[in-house]
């Protein structure tokens, strides 16, 4: 088996970017219905399993009340990490 570089498990890079429902949430369940990872409780859509969230932000995009948000602090931290990771050129690699 060849040695392939990268972050394993992939989830580590998205830790902390789990959207939470605020007081505007009407518990319509649209976020739970569209979550690809199934981490939002259908009976109580205000509850999210942060340990399984893949941070795709689909729940944020589909919420008609704009009630799901990510902490501004965590967004800033993620932005700094992305800026650092993308501040230098990386050469292409081919894995066969």
CATH of the domain at 36: 3.30.70.20
**Residue 32 scores a pLDDT above 90:** yes
3-state secondary structure of 14: helix
Burial 36-71 (b: 16+ CB within 10 A, else e): eeebbeeeebbebeeeebebeebbeeebeeebbebe
- Does residue 2 form part of some domain? no
Domain count, the chain: 1
Which of the two residues, 54 and 31, has the higher pLDDT score? 31
| Residue for token pair 């969230």 | 53
pLDDT computed for residue 12 by the predictor = 52
CA distance 78 to 81: 5
| Residue for token pair 């580590």 | 12
pTM above 0.75, yes or no: no
40-76 pLDDT tens trace: 999 999 999 988 898 899 999 999 999 999 988 988 9
Residue 21 lies in domain: 10-85
pLDDT computed for residue 24 by the predictor = 95
């Amino acid at each position: 088996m060849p040695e392939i570089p990268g972050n394993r498990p992939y989830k580590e890079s998205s830790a902390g970017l789990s959207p939470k429902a605020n007081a505007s949430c009407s518990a319509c369940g649209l976020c739970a219905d569209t979550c690809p990872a199934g981490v939002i409780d259908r009976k109580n859509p205000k509850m999210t399993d942060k340990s399984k969230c893949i941070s795709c932000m689909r729940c944020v995009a589909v919420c008609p009340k704009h009630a799901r948000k990510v902490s501004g602090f965590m967004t800033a931290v993620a932005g700094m990490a992305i800026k650092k990771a993308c501040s230098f050129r990386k050469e292409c690699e081919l894995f066969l």
